[in-house]
Amino acid sequence: MPLRKILSRSPAASRAVPFIIFVLLTAGQGQFGPASAYWFYLAKTAAGLWLIAETWPLVPEMRWAFSWEALVAGLAVLAMWIGIDPYYPKLALSKTVEANSNPNLVFGEHSPLSWFFIVVHLFGMTVVVPPLEEVFYRSFLYRFIARPNFLEVPLSQFLPLPFVATALVFGFEHNQWLAGILCGMAYQWLVLRKNRLGDAMTAHAITNLLLGIYIVWRGEWKFW
């Protein structure tokens, strides 16, 4: 049975299952040798594109939208993510993170395969990650914490417990957990302000794209 038909039976499944599949593929990165981190990222990026295509007709709020607030939030989160990094402990050691994030260590300095995986990573974090994460966290989880019948909760409704809980879960998904928490709050604020998901998707994409360029430019692989 096609995945779209299965997911169409449940609004919760159409918003949560794609993200769960994406996370499960992420868990395989680096588990089968250093190169597997990059091949798994390629696989999950391809799978993510397919999952977005399958759920696009089922999730009407999964639509890109641009606004000045999205631009400002995206740039502000970028500055915050880099700026506060030296001032708090991370969930994993930076050397461990770099070993699984710097393709030059695996495929050779500036080799064609290294640049290929850099481009794949930039594409994945800019185009694939924002829709999947924003739909799961800001559309589904935030509202599901408030009410099991989450579609009855407006995207613009501020709810303290879901706001904090969603930001915490989102934050601890990242090695830079504190930046992740603040980032989650910023993106949720965008959804609340605009009463739609698209601005948060755009802000997320702006942050990730510019952070990715910064990582490659400065060699700050710990951020991947």
Is the confidence at residue 94, as pLDDT, over 80? no
Q: pLDDT tens digit string along 54-86? A: 999 999 999 999 999 999 999 999 999 999 999
CB 65 within 8 A of CB 201: yes
Confidence (pLDDT) at 125: 97
The confidence band for 9, taking pLDDT boundaries of 50, 70 and 90, is very high
How many CB atoms within 10 Å of residue 108? Answer: 11
The confidence band for 33, taking pLDDT boundaries of 50, 70 and 90, is confident
Query: How many CA atoms lie within 13 Å of 116's alpha carbon, on the beta-carbon side?
Result: 11
How many CB atoms within 10 Å of residue 126? Answer: 19
The whole-number average pLDDT for the span 154-160 is 98
For the chain, percent of residues with pLDDT exceeding 70: 96
* Spatial separation of the C-alpha atoms in residues 130 and 212, rounded to whole Å: 14
Domain extent listing, the chain: 64-223
Confidence (pLDDT) at 224: 87
Is the confidence at residue 100, as pLDDT, over 80? no
* Spatial separation of the C-alpha atoms in residues 181 and 9, rounded to whole Å: 32
The whole-number average pLDDT for the span 14-38 is 91
* Spatial separation of the C-alpha atoms in residues 17 and 140, rounded to whole Å: 11
